[in-house]
Amino acid sequence: MQAQMQIINLREHPEMLDKAADYFASKWGIDRKIYATSIKESIETPQPLPRWYLLLQQDRIIGSFGLIENDFMQRQDLKPWLCALFIEADKRGNALGAKLLAHGRCEARKLGFKRLYLCTDLKGYYEKYGWQYFGLEKTEDGDDIGAYTAESGEAI
Protein backbone atom coordinates (compact mmCIF):
# COMPACT_ATOMS: atom_id res chain seq x y z
CA MET A 1 0.00 0.00 0.00
CA GLN A 2 1.34 3.41 -0.97
CA ALA A 3 1.92 5.94 1.80
CA GLN A 4 -0.34 9.00 1.91
CA MET A 5 0.85 12.15 0.12
CA GLN A 6 0.06 15.71 1.07
CA ILE A 7 0.84 19.17 -0.30
CA ILE A 8 1.84 21.62 2.40
CA ASN A 9 2.09 25.40 2.27
CA LEU A 10 5.32 26.38 4.01
CA ARG A 11 3.55 29.46 5.37
CA GLU A 12 1.65 27.04 7.61
CA HIS A 13 4.77 24.98 8.42
CA PRO A 14 7.55 27.41 9.40
CA GLU A 15 9.40 24.56 11.11
CA MET A 16 10.18 23.22 7.61
CA LEU A 17 12.00 26.40 6.43
CA ASP A 18 15.55 25.03 6.63
CA LYS A 19 14.70 21.63 5.17
CA ALA A 20 12.76 23.30 2.34
CA ALA A 21 15.52 25.80 1.53
CA ASP A 22 18.03 22.92 1.37
CA TYR A 23 15.68 20.95 -0.89
CA PHE A 24 14.98 23.76 -3.38
CA ALA A 25 18.67 24.75 -3.57
CA SER A 26 19.72 21.14 -4.17
CA LYS A 27 17.28 20.76 -7.06
CA TRP A 28 17.80 24.05 -8.86
CA GLY A 29 21.40 25.08 -8.17
CA ILE A 30 20.34 28.49 -6.88
CA ASP A 31 21.93 29.88 -3.72
CA ARG A 32 20.23 28.45 -0.64
CA LYS A 33 20.08 31.96 0.90
CA ILE A 34 17.75 33.10 -1.90
CA TYR A 35 15.31 30.31 -1.11
CA ALA A 36 15.62 30.72 2.66
CA THR A 37 14.94 34.47 2.39
CA SER A 38 11.93 33.98 0.11
CA ILE A 39 10.45 31.16 2.21
CA LYS A 40 10.93 33.26 5.37
CA GLU A 41 9.18 36.15 3.62
CA SER A 42 6.32 33.85 2.60
CA ILE A 43 5.85 32.88 6.24
CA GLU A 44 5.91 36.47 7.54
CA THR A 45 4.35 38.68 4.85
CA PRO A 46 0.71 39.76 4.79
CA GLN A 47 1.10 40.02 0.98
CA PRO A 48 -0.12 37.18 -1.24
CA LEU A 49 3.37 36.42 -2.61
CA PRO A 50 5.68 34.60 -2.30
CA ARG A 51 4.28 31.18 -1.41
CA TRP A 52 6.19 27.89 -1.32
CA TYR A 53 4.81 24.34 -1.32
CA LEU A 54 6.15 20.86 -0.72
CA LEU A 55 4.69 17.52 -1.71
CA LEU A 56 5.34 15.10 1.12
CA GLN A 57 5.03 11.35 1.36
CA GLN A 58 5.23 10.68 5.07
CA ASP A 59 8.30 12.76 6.06
CA ARG A 60 10.00 12.62 2.65
CA ILE A 61 9.86 15.59 0.28
CA ILE A 62 8.98 14.17 -3.14
CA GLY A 63 8.03 17.36 -4.97
CA SER A 64 7.80 21.13 -4.82
CA PHE A 65 6.81 24.40 -6.41
CA GLY A 66 6.53 28.07 -5.58
CA LEU A 67 4.37 31.05 -6.50
CA ILE A 68 6.52 34.17 -6.72
CA GLU A 69 6.45 37.75 -8.00
CA ASN A 70 9.11 37.21 -10.66
CA ASP A 71 11.15 34.20 -11.79
CA PHE A 72 14.39 36.03 -12.74
CA MET A 73 12.62 37.62 -15.73
CA GLN A 74 13.04 41.11 -17.20
CA ARG A 75 9.31 41.72 -17.50
CA GLN A 76 7.87 43.04 -14.27
CA ASP A 77 4.21 43.26 -15.35
CA LEU A 78 3.42 39.54 -15.19
CA LYS A 79 2.69 37.80 -11.90
CA PRO A 80 2.57 35.41 -10.21
CA TRP A 81 5.09 32.96 -11.60
CA LEU A 82 4.88 29.28 -10.82
CA CYS A 83 8.46 28.20 -10.27
CA ALA A 84 10.63 25.35 -9.05
CA LEU A 85 8.21 22.59 -10.06
CA PHE A 86 10.02 19.37 -9.26
CA ILE A 87 9.11 15.73 -8.74
CA GLU A 88 11.66 13.22 -7.48
CA ALA A 89 12.80 10.86 -10.25
CA ASP A 90 11.49 7.74 -8.52
CA LYS A 91 8.01 9.30 -8.26
CA ARG A 92 7.68 10.51 -11.85
CA GLY A 93 5.07 8.96 -14.12
CA ASN A 94 2.35 9.12 -11.46
CA ALA A 95 0.78 12.47 -12.51
CA LEU A 96 2.25 14.21 -9.45
CA GLY A 97 3.50 17.12 -11.56
CA ALA A 98 -0.05 17.55 -12.86
CA LYS A 99 -1.31 17.49 -9.28
CA LEU A 100 1.12 20.24 -8.24
CA LEU A 101 0.30 22.35 -11.31
CA ALA A 102 -3.42 22.11 -10.55
CA HIS A 103 -2.78 22.96 -6.90
CA GLY A 104 -0.72 25.98 -7.95
CA ARG A 105 -3.52 27.24 -10.17
CA CYS A 106 -6.06 26.86 -7.36
CA GLU A 107 -3.75 28.59 -4.87
CA ALA A 108 -3.22 31.48 -7.32
CA ARG A 109 -6.98 31.92 -7.54
CA LYS A 110 -7.31 31.92 -3.73
CA LEU A 111 -4.60 34.59 -3.59
CA GLY A 112 -6.59 36.80 -5.98
CA PHE A 113 -4.81 36.20 -9.30
CA LYS A 114 -6.68 35.48 -12.53
CA ARG A 115 -3.66 34.15 -14.44
CA LEU A 116 -0.28 32.76 -13.66
CA TYR A 117 2.92 32.28 -15.62
CA LEU A 118 5.93 30.05 -15.84
CA CYS A 119 9.13 29.95 -17.81
CA THR A 120 10.88 26.86 -19.08
CA ASP A 121 12.91 25.46 -21.93
CA LEU A 122 10.92 22.23 -21.65
CA LYS A 123 8.58 21.76 -24.62
CA GLY A 124 5.44 19.64 -24.69
CA TYR A 125 4.97 19.09 -20.96
CA TYR A 126 2.99 22.07 -19.70
CA GLU A 127 0.72 22.14 -22.75
CA LYS A 128 -0.71 18.75 -21.63
CA TYR A 129 -2.01 20.45 -18.49
CA GLY A 130 -3.73 23.48 -20.01
CA TRP A 131 -0.83 25.93 -20.17
CA GLN A 132 -0.50 28.06 -23.30
CA TYR A 133 2.85 29.04 -24.76
CA PHE A 134 2.91 32.78 -25.39
CA GLY A 135 6.43 33.37 -26.63
CA LEU A 136 10.02 33.89 -25.71
CA GLU A 137 10.75 36.24 -22.83
CA LYS A 138 14.06 37.63 -21.62
CA THR A 139 15.62 36.48 -18.37
CA GLU A 140 17.47 38.93 -16.13
CA ASP A 141 20.67 37.68 -17.83
CA GLY A 142 19.28 38.53 -21.28
CA ASP A 143 18.70 34.94 -22.37
CA ASP A 144 15.50 33.90 -24.15
CA ILE A 145 13.25 31.34 -22.48
CA GLY A 146 9.78 30.03 -23.28
CA ALA A 147 6.96 31.59 -21.29
CA TYR A 148 3.60 29.98 -20.59
CA THR A 149 0.38 31.16 -19.03
CA ALA A 150 -2.73 29.54 -17.58
CA GLU A 151 -5.90 30.73 -15.94
CA SER A 152 -5.90 30.30 -12.22
CA GLY A 153 -8.24 27.93 -10.44
CA GLU A 154 -9.06 25.73 -13.41
CA ALA A 155 -9.27 22.00 -13.09
CA ILE A 156 -7.37 20.07 -15.71
Q: How far is CA 71 from CA 61, 95, 128, 130, 139, in A?
A: 22, 24, 22, 20, 8
Residue 137's pLDDT is what? 84
Residue 90's pLDDT is what? 97
Q: How far apart are CA 145 and CA 139, in angstroms?
A: 7
Q: Which residue segments constitute the domains of the chain, with CATH numbers given? A: 5-114 (3.40.630.30)
Residue 141's pLDDT is what? 86
| Inter-residue contact 139 to 120 (CB < 8 Å) | no
Residues of the chain with pLDDT under 50: 1, 155-156
Residue 156's pLDDT is what? 44
Peptide bond into 48 cis (omega under 30): no
Of 47, 58, 15, give the one whose Cα is nearest residue 111.
Answer: 47
Residue 76's pLDDT is what? 81
Rounded to 5 degrees, φ, ψ at 152 are -80, 155
Q: How crowded is residue 135: how many other Cβ atoms within 10 Å of its Cβ?
A: 9
pTM: 0.92
